[in-house]
Structure 1
Amino acid sequence: MKTQNWLLLTYKVPPEPAKKRIALWRRLKGMGAVYLQNGVCLLPKTDDHTRRLKMIENEISEMAGESVILETIALDQAQENKVVGRFKADRDEEYVEFLDKCKDFEAEIAKETAASHFTYAELEENDVDLKKLQSWLGKIRKLDFYGATLAAEADQRLQTCEALLDTYAQRVFEAHDENK
């Protein structure tokens, strides 16, 4: 098996203003970083991650903080598996949240269908919600570096939501054709 290279960022920033420290944490998590402990995070080594970490390094300096970026590999396969497991667990947490929102979407479509509420306004609202789900899943996939276990289920669930909205749209169009 090919050895995975990672970028390790260690940093220390002043506690105040907390807003800057929190923004830094959010940016790193938004890149898909896994925190090994406070101020120590890991990302797969890519040109994009290298460039973005160098920019973050400059921001940390501007905050009067300190940082070091290292390229590293795991000591052995067991250690590598632990790290990959952490990445997968983080993504699975996001997939669980996504699946919950899909359940909400499905319930909304079922409620509107049961109430025979087939309006263009409702269709537009549900279409906006579906687009949010599609965008959100795209963002999670982009950070799913190692194929988290819930990825396939999330893909399938989104397809279900898309099919439900297509069926609902057809009912809206039929309801409006009948009213003419």
Structure 2
Amino acid sequence: MVSPSWLLLTYKVPPEPATKRVALWRRLKGMGAVYLQNGVCLLPKADDHARRLKMIENDIAEMGGEAVLLETVALDRAQEEKVVARFRADRDEQYREFLGRCADFENEIAKEIAINKFTYAELEEEDTDLKKLQGWLERIRKLDFYEATLAEEAAARLQACEALLDSYAQRVFDANDENH
């Protein structure tokens, strides 16, 4: 088995303005990077990651900072597993938040059913919320480089939300005599 290689970015940026530092951190986290410590992060080696990290390196220079971008591999299997575990933990944290939002979605529909609110306006609102969940899960999946443990649960939960909305939609149609 070939050991995975990573792109390692180390950087130092001026403390002010803080907004630029935070924006940089957000961009890197948005790419799925894991931080080994302040100013040191990793991404799986991929052409897209290399291109984007080179752009970030230029942005850091424009901020008056310094950056070094390297390709690296783990010293041994144990170190490799530590890195992969960090990636999985970061994604699982996102999946947990996603699962919480799925529960909110399910509770909202249960509330509407409990008060017999079967309107097209409510259905449209719930459909919009489901589309947000679908998009969010897709964004998490794109950053799930090493199959986090909660990935399957999140996918199943989204399917349950989709089925729940289909069931609610049928009740809205029935309540509004769409099928008669």
TM-score interval, smaller chain: over 0.9
Say whether 1:63 aligns with 2:48: no
Give the match's secondary structure for 1:177.
Answer: coil
Q: TM-score, normalization: structure 1?
A: 0.98
Whole-angstrom CA distance in 2 between matches of 1:155 and 1:21: 34
* 1:116 matched residue in structure 2: 116
Q: Cα offset for 1:151?
A: 0.1
Whole-angstrom CA distance in 2 between matches of 1:10 and 1:62: 16
Say whether 1:107 aligns with 2:132: no
Give the match's secondary structure for 1:111.
Answer: helix
Q: Cα offset for 1:114?
A: 1.2
Say whether 1:8 aligns with 2:4: no
* 1:157 matched residue in structure 2: 157
Superimposed CA distance per residue, residues 102-129 of structure 1 (whole angstroms, 9 cap, x where no aligned partner): 0000000111011110000000000000
Q: Cα offset for 1:2?
A: 1.7
* 1:98 matched residue in structure 2: 98
* Identity fraction in percent: 77
* 1:76 matched residue in structure 2: 76
* 2:147 matched residue in structure 1: 147
Unaligned runs of 5+ in 2: none
> Number of paired residues?
180
* 1:130 matched residue in structure 2: 130
Give the match's secondary structure for 2:149.
Answer: coil
* 1:17 matched residue in structure 2: 17
Q: TM-score, normalization: structure 2?
A: 0.98
* 2:36 matched residue in structure 1: 36
Letter in 2 for 1:11: Y
